[in-house]
Structure 1
């Protein structure tokens, strides 16, 4: 947290929305859920933990979040809330953790993958993981839908591999499910993403099936190369495994922290000549590099196979 500044984001709310949080917070418990969601929209980026948690505990929260998300204007940067409301909503759904909340989040992934943009590949899997063990069967069903866009579908396979590590009693079942997906899918990009997820089990028995998929041209080698898979299964990138697990098990509530909101503010609103990012805020920026993007160090390798997780704190 920035020294001398509160987690309620009072200063940012005042300067960016002209509302006074100190006056608002006393009224929040008496506000209806509809009013709370409307307030979330009015606050734009600057929604704090207090409001997020208040919405999450309301029994009708999913109903009003769904209504808001269904209005396409809320996804636009020139619309209500400057496009931030759906992003806040997906994090609140992960705080609610009910079956109804999970179904809505999966529908958002299904129908709004373009709107989610980088949030899809960098954040959504961790939100699915937050639903825990009870989400496993729904996620497996989601991954079987061949009509889904490759990366939207892989948010669930990635979540499944993380849940396998969190709940070892499901590890073998999830691994077999991913192998079946690799064998049955006609999407070579998705096949590459599934193969990548399979490497996290470090089980040499999956290598023949993956090798067969490469031989038959069913995996896009732009997504992952066979030698990368072998190295990962053999534990060459063990430190990367630990870094990814930590990232994918992050508390959804952290989205509403001052550190994250200030980072997003600087990223989207600060003018270049006035942009001052302290060392504590530089670290979150690095996580926005896609794991399959070229590593910024210039090595030519993918970020996840090079510097990811090795940056200095």
Structure 2
């Protein structure tokens, strides 16, 4: 029996350890291996849940055919992943939600309508459709899918009248990662209609941050190349990767990450006193004693220090920095007054990093109330200046992270709790007139 046949035999059934050597032989002989791999997919398609429990080659075949960019077999791959959810889970398990987009992307043969129909097909597993949606996102980034066509397709599904499913979460993610700021109303619609899981996506305000943030590691939906062995070797189905001392490298990495998170949480919980010779937290580059130490404090500084505010605003979209061509910025859509009001709301309402047991709820409420009071003062000035009559009108033109009905309602409850009756009555009257 040839080395290739031996390698195919080795990956045909489940093994305790990842078959590294077999993968090396197969990837060195793609032309000869492809017929075996295609046959495995076709066998799984035919037998479905009657397939032997420990039969494994069809699972490997998906990723190997992706690595080999077998575009001729693309229709069969799409047929395979469009099997009913319970059947597909039986056949490939967690691959439904891990790496399937790379397989689809690297075998894609140009049939965009097949991708579209798969996403729109309610009979296809929602996680599979999400992976296909990400493939379409990558095709847009590649320039193979026109922006107008891509946006129209997204909007069609958003407003299709379907009930919640995971695909809506993916749609919000795709809109943000494509930086379609003009589609924030679509995200807002999904939030208001309960079509997205706010616990997982972080709410509308997190989507706004995401929309205007550019991270190098998120520049693609699908990997530029697919190496099947790298994608699969660390899966939990295989015995752990041990170092020379017999320690599980994966567990060691997790322990290290946990310690780092604990350290960061402790750092967030402690407010560091600024020394006279420390760099001034305002960012001037001067020492604190030569800059802001003896300056009269603004009202906002009585709530918390510049340093603490800057920490909270770390994820706030960049404002006032040098712009890069091809990127979207808040200033492209909102004026400076709107942004300053929004920053106050963000400082008051955005959840701060740290662990629940380390939080001072009373201090958080006080901070939130004071920031919202400042925001309300500037909001009323802008409403008067712009001749705004309703919250809806203001939201349509100036609201960024938070909408008027939400934050004024929160302010009301905090004012009532703190016994600030005069301002409470004023805000209540404003809400009644503008809602």
TM-score normalised by the shorter chain: which range applies? Answer: 0.5 to 0.7
State the secondary structure of the residue aligned to 2:159: helix
Give the superposition deviation at 1:260.
5.5
State the secondary structure of the residue aligned to 2:124: coil
2:186 is aligned with 1:209:
yes
2:242 is aligned with 1:269:
no
Give the superposition deviation at 1:220.
3.2
2:378 aligned partner: none
Give the counterpart of 1:107 among 79, 91, 95.
79
2:207 aligned partner: 229
1:177 aligned partner: 153
2:26 is aligned with 1:51:
yes
2:63 aligned partner: 91
Q: Show structure 1 runs of 5+ residues with no match.
A: 1-22, 287-295, 301-305, 307-313
Give the superposition deviation at 1:223.
4.0
Give the superposition deviation at 1:64.
1.0
Matches within 5 A, 1:159-178: 159-167=135-143, 170-178=146-154
1:41 aligned partner: 12
Q: Show structure 2 runs of 5+ residues with no match.
A: 266-314, 316-435
2:122 aligned partner: 146
Q: Is this contact kept in 1: 2:82–2:124, CA < 8 A?
A: yes
TM-score (normalised: structure 1): 0.64
Q: Deviations over 1:78-105 (max 9, x none)?
A: x24xx4x232111123245445522222
2:269 aligned partner: none
Q: How many residues align?
A: 250
Q: Deviations over 1:90-129 (max 9, x none)?
A: 1123245445522222233222442333322221111112
Give the superposition deviation at 1:251.
2.5
Give the counterpart of 2:217 among 243, 256, 259.
243
Q: Is this contact kept in 1: 2:82–2:118, CA < 8 A?
A: no
1:6 aligned partner: none
Partners of 1:36 and 1:230 lie apart in 2 by 49
Give the superposition deviation at 1:56.
5.1
Give the superposition deviation at 1:142.
0.7
Partners of 2:148 and 2:10 lie apart in 1 by 45
2:94 aligned partner: 118
Q: Is this contact kept in 2: 1:55–1:61, CA < 8 A?
A: no
Partners of 2:68 and 2:241 lie apart in 1 by 36
Partners of 1:181 and 1:54 lie apart in 2 by 42
Kindly tell me: are residues 251 and 68 of structure 1, through their superposed partners in 2, closer, same or farther at Cα, counting changes over 3 Å? farther
Kindly tell me: are residues 59 and 184 of structure 1, through their superposed partners in 2, closer, same or farther at Cα, counting changes over 3 Å? same
Kindly tell me: are residues 162 and 64 of structure 1, through their superposed partners in 2, closer, same or farther at Cα, counting changes over 3 Å? same
State the secondary structure of the residue aligned to 1:148: coil
Partners of 1:198 and 1:102 lie apart in 2 by 26
Partners of 2:132 and 2:30 lie apart in 1 by 25
State the secondary structure of the residue aligned to 2:208: helix
Q: Is this contact kept in 2: 1:214–1:226, CA < 8 A?
A: yes
Q: Deviations over 1:15-40 (max 9, x none)?
A: xxxxxxxx843xx4xx6xxx875454
Partners of 1:155 and 1:54 lie apart in 2 by 28
Give the superposition deviation at 1:74.
5.5
Q: Deviations over 1:119-172 (max 9, x none)?
A: 222211111121347143321121010222321211111111122112265343
1:3 aligned partner: none
Give the superposition deviation at 1:60.
4.0
Kindly tell me: are residues 58 and 73 of structure 1, through their superposed partners in 2, closer, same or farther at Cα, counting changes over 3 Å? same
